Structure 1
Amino acid sequence: MTTNATASPHGDYIAYMRGGYVLTQSIRHREPTTQSACKLPPDAKVASLKWSADGSQILISHDRGLQVVDSKHRSSRVFLKNGTAGLGRIATADFVGNEHLLVVWEFGKAKLWHMNSGKAVDLPDFKTTCDGQTWQIRPGNKTPPLFAVLSRIGAEDHLSLRFPSLRQLPPPAKLPTIDAQGISWSPDGRWLAILDVPTASQSLHIYTPDGHLFRSYPSAKDVELGLGIKSFAWSGDSRILALTKFDGLVELLNTRTFMPIAMIEHSTTIHQHEVEKEQQAPVWQEAVSSANERSYTQQQQPFSPPLSKAKAGNEPSDLGLAEICFSCDGSYLATRDCRMLNTVWIWNMATLGAHAVLIQHSNIRRLKWHPTRFETLLIDCAEGFAHVWNVSSREPPTALPTGGLAKAKLTWLEGPAEARPIIMVTEQSRFHLLHPEGQDELLEQVSRPASAEGSEPNDEGNSEDSLFQVLSGRKPLPPKTQPSYTEMVDLEMEAEDELDGDGLDDTFREKRKAVQQAPMEIDPLDDSEIF
């Protein structure tokens, strides 16, 4: 039984829990599954697994505390014990760089731990009650990393920009917000956007990396009607900032002056009467037969997508846009309106016009662009199918059965630009990989054992001819000497017996070194310990 499966940042390995151990399985190479040397308590409930940015460490969050495992040497590096939970349970924990851990407790306490020395720096008044991110590392391979933190002092929001290695906290800067809802760096790290509540007259604030306010939007002289900005998203090339409104509009700003360049509206009737018929955006609608066979038909304009609603009510979350996301290079924008939850609108950022409209049979749960292929979009409708669509083609999406439950989570795996795409299908107790375009040659090839004495030499020059003879039926397929990659993953996942790790615990217990900590001020409510 596997749980909490998660892929590494570069898409090389998958880490998952089994029998109290962390196991790592290679994705693109034929390597045996490796097991960590440390075992969690038998009654520990694992909440999540997270990789460090460089893929060298794995963070295990469970109800007893935190544990960091070295993914290369498979040994335990850090164990943070939550003690008697005087600060509540650990709400979130994340890597900050490769040497620090940011830990936030449910009662609002936050600490930045240095994993080598075991020392911690308190982050006072850490803001925890907001819809978006309260902290984020500046993008880019910058050393040391710079990260921004939101804090709430009294009734005022503050912003702190700091490096993890600093022991002295820089003075926070007061924000012109009523109740900041989240922060987000632009992909190039040049701008930091802070979103305020939608009722604020100026609900978006743009800051420079040194903490200076560059601009607030909309400007004070502009008259803003309605509920304001609901969310925002940066394009992959950092050239456009898209703002979603509660009235269903999407406003596009350039990231030089942050002035509007276009407005996108989702109409309940699709009719491009000003565009020639050959250049109109295609409208594809999915149909499902009684045998669960899926097909798409192209609809003629004008056409009205079916209206749908996840639930009754007029809550702010039910108004405006339900989802918005850019392709990896910012060439295309995918949006969903809350009135039409089964409809995907694709917009071309070069022409600022509609590129296509996809109408699914069921409401869409999530949209996800491929991390390296700008033209590939994954549509997850929670039906046990992965709908993959190529933007550059004139064909409709392809519905691929995932082989998992309807509630299974579908995600793209990172990888080289030249590698074939891989979809990870994750359920509560198992996971498997889906290859929309087949596996790479490195995974498909069958490794041959070293030739024994007296056997025929390996003729590499005739490998292509031999493959042609096999495919054409002139030559039988050679006997299988080793299970395929998929079979190895299935064998690991379906194994019922738990690994016995008592000997490993005894071996590594004597090698743990105590970390000397400098005397520091003790919080009477904090009894957490790091080893």
Structure 2
Amino acid sequence: MHTSRVFKSSPQCKPSPDGRFVATLGSSAISIRSTASLRLVNVVRLPPELSGPVSGFLWAPSSSRVLVSTADQIQIFSAVDSSFHATIRNPASAGGKAPVIYFGARDTEVLACSAFGLKLAIIDLSTSKVVEIGNPKFHHPSSASRGLSIRPDTGHLALLTRVGGKDVISIHDPATRQVERSWCPETIDGQGLSWTRDGQWLLLWESPAQGRRLFLYTPDGQHFRTIGASGLSQGQSSNADAILEPGIKVCQLSSNAELCAIGDHSRRVAVLSTQTWRETVSLLHPSTIVPMDTLQVWQEQLGAAGERRSTHAFLRATQMVAPPGPWPDAKSAVSVSPGCSLAAFDASSTLLATRLDDSPGTIWIWDVAAAELRAVLIFHSNAGFSWHPSSRELLLVTCQDDARHGASFVWDPVSNGPTSVSPEDYLPAVKAVGKTRVSWINRESEFPELLLADAERCMLLSLSDAGDGPNPWQDDGGGEWDGASAAREDGETTGRPAVLDVEDISALDDTFSFRNA
């Protein structure tokens, strides 16, 4: 593999959505670096009033702006120049807790959900106006995204709130964010909603404790169909038994908007066609796996204890193997419920990766069209995964156990097992500093690329070999270590910031007031 030189990093280091830049948040400045040349394109000095722990560091959807948030304010900066700077004070915060922050449908729209779920503030930076919506159902950082969804292309916002013990869905105008339609769905405890990728359907699913029910709505909020337990079981059990079984744990849509994968508390995942909303494929995770020519089973082999640097090798199984259960050193000591709560389609929507909660170290790769298991990857710790955003059939697996220091691997169907891409294998240090991270770089390039980082250093990795051509970063002109960002953190930014100030957040119905500085 080809690697770039090492450059300065921090615990907050993220690639832009279009893959052209990497933003690194330092103590007093944000450094923006080009992924093509590795040169700094901008250094944004943080204002002195931005104090306290950083709760959010985000790229705008267009990759033109970056956002930094603390408990009492949000700062938004232009990424490559100093043409824009906005400040939002007291953004729906309460009790000193940092709100959950998202960019909206546009770079000029910010969504701030208060820490205790009192309200969701939709802030329009272009008009200095705010729309407040009370009682968003989900407000914790791990779940807030399940309660809102922005429709592709049009930008309509669908929001799930709860008032008086009842769920309420509202659809908001893409420009004004005023309510266009709202209704109470027939849910007892809705657990998530999402637009399909083509924006033709709005999905809402019920809590697992309330049975298997998936509600379908048209873009204007008209109820189209409710898919119940019988429609999601495909003869696996009687209708009476299916009604009593726990319901949906995960609802995942494909990037081509043609498929929807539903996982529940069983070992089965149902794949529905969004054209007919009927089950087309049923994927059953076997309790024992029999390797075949068409089914790869790769088991991780750890190096001997006491080695200075851990080594990773994978052995292809030739005999029947059973996926292991949760590892003894797992953080959670509580019993794990069975079923699938993690699933994702690849960029081509032909492969589906799943993980069962009762065997969190095993990743299952399914060929959806053939309804066959193509590969099983077995690791020695709990593992998460993410497909490459645009390259098909390319999977990144990251071990989630702290003792593994974020060990990461790349797999594709033609590889000879997963390949290690861990930061400790490439960064020039005996031991990685802080938490290590590996993420995809989603830019147009001949070969896929990754960002490898720990708390102090970063580098880029190209999934290409010497025989594939020259190193894409061989002409960047820098040394192995670049301290330029630290030297330029004292640089000043120019431009007049737009300051948005919330006068009082003590009452739920208080409104924001704004002033231009």
Q: TM-score range by the shorter chain?
A: 0.7 to 0.9
The superposition leaves residues 255-277 of structure 1 with CA deviations (integer Å, 9 ceiling, x where unpaired) of: 122222232222221137xxxx5
- Report the Cα offset of residue 67 of structure 1: 1.0
TM-score, normalised with respect to structure 2: 0.82
Aligned to 1:135: 148
- 1:183 match: 193
CA change 1:216–1:429 in 2 (3 A) is farther
Deviations 1:465-518 (A, max 9, x none): xxxxxxxxxxxxxxxxx325xx36x4347x4x68335xx37x65xx4578899x
Normalised by the length of structure 1, the TM-score is: 0.80
With over 3 angstroms needed to count, the CA separation of the structure-2 counterparts of 1:43 and 1:377, relative to structure 1, is same
Does the CA contact (< 8 Å) of 1:46 and 1:61 recur in 2?
Answer: yes
Deviation at 1:368?
A: 1.2
Number of residue pairs matched by the alignment: 470
Between the aligned partners of 2:178 and 2:393, the Cα distance in structure 1 is 46
**Distance between the aligned counterparts of 2:34 and 2:190, measured in 1?**
41
Partner residue in 1 for 2:250: 231
Q: For residues 271-309 of structure 1, give each alpha carbon's deviation from its aligned partner in whole angstroms, at most 9, with x where no partner exists.
A: 37xxxx5x4412221212314333222222322233334
Structure 2 equivalent of residue 193 of structure 1: 203
Equivalents in 2 of 1:299, 1:442: separation in Å? 35
- What does the per-residue CA deviation read over 1:11-69, in whole Å, with 9 as the maximum and x for residues that have no partner? 00111222322221111135334112552437432222212111112111113300111
Higher Rg: 1
* Unpaired runs of at least 5, structure 1: 448-481
Q: Find the partner of 1:67 among 72, 75, 86.
A: 75
Aligned to 1:286: 300
Q: Which residue of 2 aligns with 1:415?
A: 443
Residue equivalent to 1:380: 398
> 1:160 and 2:170 equivalent?
yes
Contact 1:420 1:438 in 2 (8 A): no
Contact conserved, 1:78 with 1:530, CA < 8 A, in 2?
Answer: no
Give the conservation status (yes or no) of the 8 Å contact 2:88–2:501: no
Match of 1:389 in 2: 411
Give the letter for the 1:306 counterpart: P
| Corresponding position: 1:52 with 2:60 | yes
After superposition, where does 1:56-455 map in structure 2 within 5 Å?
Answer: 56-82=64-90, 88-96=96-104, 97-107=106-116, 108-128=118-138, 131=143, 133-139=146-152, 142-143=153-154, 145-166=155-176, 168-218=178-228, 222-223=239-240, 224=242, 225-271=244-290, 279-290=293-304, 291=307, 292-309=310-327, 310=330, 311-314=332-335, 318-360=337-379, 362-382=380-400, 383-384=404-405, 385-391=407-413, 393=414, 395-403=416-424, 404=432, 407-416=435-444, 418-437=445-464, 443-446=472-475
SS of the aligned residue for 1:158 comes to: strand
Tell me whether 177-186 or 405-414 shows the greater mean CA deviation. Answer: 405-414
Show CA shifts across 1:410-444 (max 9, x none).
Answer: 2111112x432222234345433333326986843
1:153–1:171 CA distance, 2 compared to 1 (3 A): farther
Contact (CA 8 Å) 1:161, 1:211: kept in 2 or not?
A: yes
CA RMSD of aligned residues (A): 3.1
Partner-residue secondary structure (3-state), 1:199: helix
Q: Which amino acid in 2 is paired with 1:137?
A: I
Residues 343 and 353 in structure 2, CA contact (< 8 A), matched pair in contact too: yes
Larger RCO (CA under 8 A, 6+ residues apart): 2
1: CA distance, partners of 2:422 / 2:103: 35
What is the percentage of aligned positions where both structures have the same residue?
25
Unaligned runs of 5+ in 2: 1-8, 232-238, 425-431
Partner secondary structure for residue 361 of structure 2: strand
Question: 1:79: Cα distance to partner?
Answer: 0.5
Seen in structure 2, the aligned counterparts of structure 1 residues 326 and 44 have a Cα distance that, compared at 3 Å, is: same
1:148 Cα deviation (Å)? 1.0
Q: Which amino acid aligns with 1:387?
A: F
